[in-house]
Structure 1
Amino acid sequence: MSVGQPVVAVVGRPNVGKSTLVNRVLGRRAAVVEDVPGVTRDRIAYDAVWSGRRFTLVDTGGWEPDAAGLAAMVSEQAQAALDTADAVLFIVDVLTGATDADEAVARVLHRSGLPVILVANKVDDARSEADAAALWSLGLGEPHPVSALHGRGSGDLLDAVLAVLPEAPRERFGADTGGPRRVALIGRPNVGKSSLLNKIAGSRRSLVHDEAGTTRDPVDELVTVGGEEWMFIDTAGLRRRVREASGAEYYSSLRTATALEAAEVAIVLLDAGEPLTEQDQRVISMVVEAGRALVLAFNKWDLVDEDRRLTLEREIVRDLGRVAWAPRVNVSARTGRATDRLAPALRTSLESWGTRIPTGRLNTWLGEVVSATPPPARGGKVPKVLFATQAGVRPPRFVVFTTGFLEPGYRRFLERRLREDFGFTGSPISISVRVRERGERPRP
């Protein structure tokens, strides 16, 4: 979300079409939509533009003033969106008409003093417009009939939005930090991602509830950790592979993958009190395959006894050997234990992620390693390693030029030696091999 833009909060009861309208305005399927009430639970900000004017849309969970439990927390998020809004889109479903909950929300909005645009949604044809007129009874002015699903009336609605927006926002969402490093906070459901983000941020920014999977969309939060500002992205818990998911879970998985692509480093949160699972392995694989820097954070450490710690160490050696290079931090999202140690781990991983080895130093090192341990023969011939170059950073990528194929085991040996001699703590690295064609002259 960009700072310096007016903010429009989208509020209403569950399942009245808030996220569908947001997607219509954005022109893409950004917000999770499913024909089930309560799919959106956090407040999510998106950059939008209409007639050359930029503004921020904040999609919220269904707002019910007298809700209890998780629903009350969703309502609290919607109420919090008003604190930084410059205008409000209040959406009512014309098919059900104004309910007692709608009237209660209308009273709250009237007292807020904010410009409120009343949206009569699901007006799919001219016959439904009479139903929209009945919403004058809410006392919020003229209802704007739209069909968020089909786009009917959306242009007129956006014109009305621009008419009430101030030139400058009432309150900025944050300061211009010159580009904080982006951190994806990922893991399987209910390991405490939102709790950790809330503890670090010092406020209840993401929903936390005993019910697994209360986060559906990525939630961005600018927080200070270790004296430095970071952009944390709290994501939906990944239960299964994207291609095996369905409905809201499918789109949440896609957006989690997108958040990872937009990040530089990922904190994979694991439950220290439970055995490592296939889902944990899959989440870690996503980070490595995306080429992002990595920090492993073991949550709920305050609840782990000595026996479990010993068992966990064995599990880590057995199941996480392939990412033994990732820094580990044992934290407690509940108490805040060791959360200050996340910043040094993040900095270490990001520094490795951007490390470049000078070509001369790289080839001197390669010559010494190959002389001490030559590659195994293949087809009776030992391939000659000619030279290497670093093809890129973020993550570090190396290309080794040879006269023959290098076995995967030897490539892993080279990677292990690279890490031993140059570090790369917290960053995946890749080594590819290019076999010199006949007649091709090697380059130093």
Structure 2
Amino acid sequence: MSSTEFSDRAEMDRLGLDPTEFVATDDEGRAIAGLDPDQVVATPVLAVVGRPNVGKSTLVNRMLGRREAVVQDVPGVTRDRVVYDGLWNGRRFKLMDTGGWEPDANGLQAVVAQQAETAMRTADAVMLVVDASVGATATDQAVARVLRRSDVPVLLAATKVDDDRLNSDTTELWRLGLGEPHPVSGLHGRGSGDLLDAILDVLPETPRDTFGAGGSGPRRVALVGKPNVGKSSLINKLSGETRSVVHEVAGTTVDPVDSLVELDGDVWRFVDTAGLRRRVRTASGTEYYASLRTSSAIDAAEVALMLIDASEPITEQDQRVINQIVESGRALVILFNKWDLVDEDRRHELERELDRGELQSVRWAERVNVSALTGRATRRVAPAMRRALESWDTRIPTGRLNGWLSDLVAATPPPVRGGKQPKILFATQAQTRPPTFVLFTSGFLEAGYRRFVERRLREEFGFAGSPIRLSVRVREKRPRKK
């Protein structure tokens, strides 16, 4: 436990607050989870990976002890990575349920390698799920080859082992080179307890630092936006050489392309991604895989550069990609590209679009007007990313946070709800990357007041370029003793 977390717990003890008496609530005031003291700090993540329809989501539900992941008897139901909170033998961890891997027209290796590498970058351990009744397929073997090179622990789960007669089917899975296969039945629960014990053995007590701060490597930048917005051209301009193929036909880039680029004395790892045309759920074929790999690049990055074509109106797709970046919790810089094509009329029209609120939800993100063609203002990109990452890494001391909050509540108390005015008893910053704050209260806080607190947080402490997450824990009403 870090010194910050210890001081928070000590301060709560001093105030006579028991964290176990609080429950999390959503924006409507509904309880969504109990709060153990350990929930205030980050927990390690296990990525569950494997082919479509091998029973990953069924197994995830079994390990959670509740039906959370969507299960259907057709392959490919799970597409996006979804994270759930798990608990076993008093230890908390997170399960990352992933979409299934399968070959596409462009070849198996590209899809498998990208997905496996993303899981390795974002998780503390990986569990490969294989259908024991089918055996190790070519896809399973390709995934195993990538995972064997991983620097995180890897477990092998053999699913659909519903009785002892099928145990022999798991022996051939040793040849995957991932150690002992753990036979389990997600449907009946057979072997799930032993598997959970094995998971706790390999998971660290706290999450590893997966990002590049502190000199552990170049900081990762995801370059995202619609097709033909100029992402590859910007990479080429920043690097001073041709790193990515550029063509007037939209959609030239399909796979993410990693480039090490030195800017202002620092080396950055840029990932030039395919343009996102539509929602991942409605994409198909190579476009689906391109969208999936682009989403993976955002999740694995620390800061996202969102390119918007300044010469055209801001679209719903632009806003959808920005929302995806915010939901992923990454730092954000917005680049209005093709500024060399913007005349006076378009400049006024763009100002009206911004005033109408097309980007109101990310007013905190720094905006830079650039031209990948001429190099206009590209020197401002690196300083903007540094400022965004500095905000992303910022931690507010508990004493300073609560002193500021006391003054704020005294000047503007929460609105009355149900005839009672809720009190904010204590606040703590649970984590950074992105900055995440927890408010312990005596009653529900309206969504409007939460937004007010977030807005004033930014006014006081900055956080330019970084999303903020604010959650509320309401003290449970306990029955009076007779």
Indicate the TM-score class for this superposition, using the shorter chain for normalisation. 0.5 to 0.7
1:371 aligns with 2:458: no
1:197 aligns with 2:235: yes
Q: Which amino acid aligns with 1:313?
A: E
Q: What is the CA-CA distance between 1:231 and the residue it aligns to?
A: 0.2
Partners in 2 of 1:342 and 1:372 — Cα distance? 39
- SS of the residue corresponding to residue 382 of structure 1 reads coil
* Higher RCO structure (Cα 8 Å, ≥6 apart): 2
Q: Which amino acid aligns with 1:351?
A: E
Residue 215 of structure 1 is matched in structure 2 by 253
For the 8 Å contact 2:115–2:293, the answer to whether it is kept is: no
Residue 42 of structure 1 is matched in structure 2 by none
Partners in 1 of 2:258 and 2:143 — Cα distance? 13
Residue 375 of structure 2 is matched in structure 1 by 336
Residue 235 of structure 1 is matched in structure 2 by 273
For the 8 Å contact 2:114–2:293, the answer to whether it is kept is: no
For the 8 Å contact 1:270–1:298, the answer to whether it is kept is: yes
Q: What is the CA-CA distance between 1:22 and the residue it aligns to?
A: 3.5
Q: What is the CA-CA distance between 1:367 and the residue it aligns to?
A: 0.2
Q: What is the CA-CA distance between 1:224 and the residue it aligns to?
A: 1.1
Partners in 1 of 2:111 and 2:334 — Cα distance? 38
CA, structure 1 residues 27+218, in 2 after alignment: closer, same or farther (shift >3 Å)?
closer
For the 8 Å contact 2:115–2:296, the answer to whether it is kept is: no
Residue 356 of structure 1 is matched in structure 2 by 395
Partners in 1 of 2:281 and 2:427 — Cα distance? 38
CA, structure 1 residues 28+437, in 2 after alignment: closer, same or farther (shift >3 Å)?
closer
**1:44-443 superposed matches below 5 A:** 178-317=216-355, 318-438=357-477
Partners in 1 of 2:111 and 2:381 — Cα distance? 38
What whole-Å deviation, never above 9, does each CA across 1:170-224 have from its counterpart, x for those lacking one? xxxxxxx840100000001111001111111111111111111111110000001
Q: Which amino acid aligns with 2:245?
A: L
For the 8 Å contact 1:225–1:343, the answer to whether it is kept is: yes
CA, structure 1 residues 220+25, in 2 after alignment: closer, same or farther (shift >3 Å)?
closer
Q: What is the CA-CA distance between 1:265 and the residue it aligns to?
A: 0.3
Partners in 1 of 2:400 and 2:406 — Cα distance? 10
For the 8 Å contact 1:218–1:256, the answer to whether it is kept is: yes
CA, structure 1 residues 279+262, in 2 after alignment: closer, same or farther (shift >3 Å)?
same
Partners in 2 of 1:387 and 1:199 — Cα distance? 49
- SS of the residue corresponding to residue 418 of structure 2 reads coil
Partners in 2 of 1:428 and 1:422 — Cα distance? 13
What whole-Å deviation, never above 9, does each CA across 1:73-129 have from its counterpart, x for those lacking one? xxxxxxxxxxxxxxxxxxxxxxxxxxxxxxxxxxxxxxxxxxxxxxxxxxxxxxxxx
The unaligned stretches of length 5 or more in structure 1 are 1-16, 31-45, 55-176
Residue 146 of structure 1 is matched in structure 2 by none
For the 8 Å contact 2:255–2:293, the answer to whether it is kept is: yes
Q: What is the CA-CA distance between 1:307 and the residue it aligns to?
A: 1.7
Q: What is the CA-CA distance between 1:25 and the residue it aligns to?
A: 9.0
State TM-score, norm by structure 2: 0.56
Q: What is the CA-CA distance between 1:227 and the residue it aligns to?
A: 2.1
What whole-Å deviation, never above 9, does each CA across 1:307-338 have from its counterpart, x for those lacking one? 21121122123211110000011100001111
For the 8 Å contact 1:23–1:29, the answer to whether it is kept is: no
Percent of pairs identical after alignment? Answer: 66
CA, structure 1 residues 410+18, in 2 after alignment: closer, same or farther (shift >3 Å)?
closer
1:20 aligns with 2:107: yes
Partners in 1 of 2:441 and 2:296 — Cα distance? 36
Q: What is the CA-CA distance between 1:303 and the residue it aligns to?
A: 1.3
Partners in 1 of 2:391 and 2:382 — Cα distance? 14
**How many residues align structurally?**
288
What whole-Å deviation, never above 9, does each CA across 1:376-430 have from its counterpart, x for those lacking one? 1111111111110001100000000111100000000000000000000000001
For the 8 Å contact 2:222–2:304, the answer to whether it is kept is: yes
What whole-Å deviation, never above 9, does each CA across 1:224-271 have from its counterpart, x for those lacking one? 122211000000000111000000000000000000111000000000
Q: Which amino acid aligns with 1:340?
A: R
CA, structure 1 residues 189+18, in 2 after alignment: closer, same or farther (shift >3 Å)?
closer
Q: Which amino acid aligns with 2:285?
A: G
- SS of the residue corresponding to residue 107 of structure 2 reads helix
Report the RMSD for the aligned CA atoms in angstroms.
Answer: 2.7
The unaligned stretches of length 5 or more in structure 2 are 1-103, 118-141, 151-214
Which 4+ runs in 1 deviate beyond 6 A?
27-30
**1:30-41 superposed matches below 5 A:** none
Partners in 2 of 1:264 and 1:432 — Cα distance? 22
Partners in 2 of 1:376 and 1:382 — Cα distance? 6
Q: Which amino acid aligns with 1:375?
A: P
CA, structure 1 residues 18+438, in 2 after alignment: closer, same or farther (shift >3 Å)?
closer
Q: Which has the larger radius of gyration?
A: 1
Residue 70 of structure 1 is matched in structure 2 by none
Q: What is the CA-CA distance between 1:47 and the residue it aligns to?
A: 12
What whole-Å deviation, never above 9, does each CA across 1:135-188 have from its counterpart, x for those lacking one? xxxxxxxxxxxxxxxxxxxxxxxxxxxxxxxxxxxxxxxxxx840100000001
- SS of the residue corresponding to residue 210 of structure 1 reads coil
Q: What is the CA-CA distance between 1:18 and the residue it aligns to?
A: 9.6
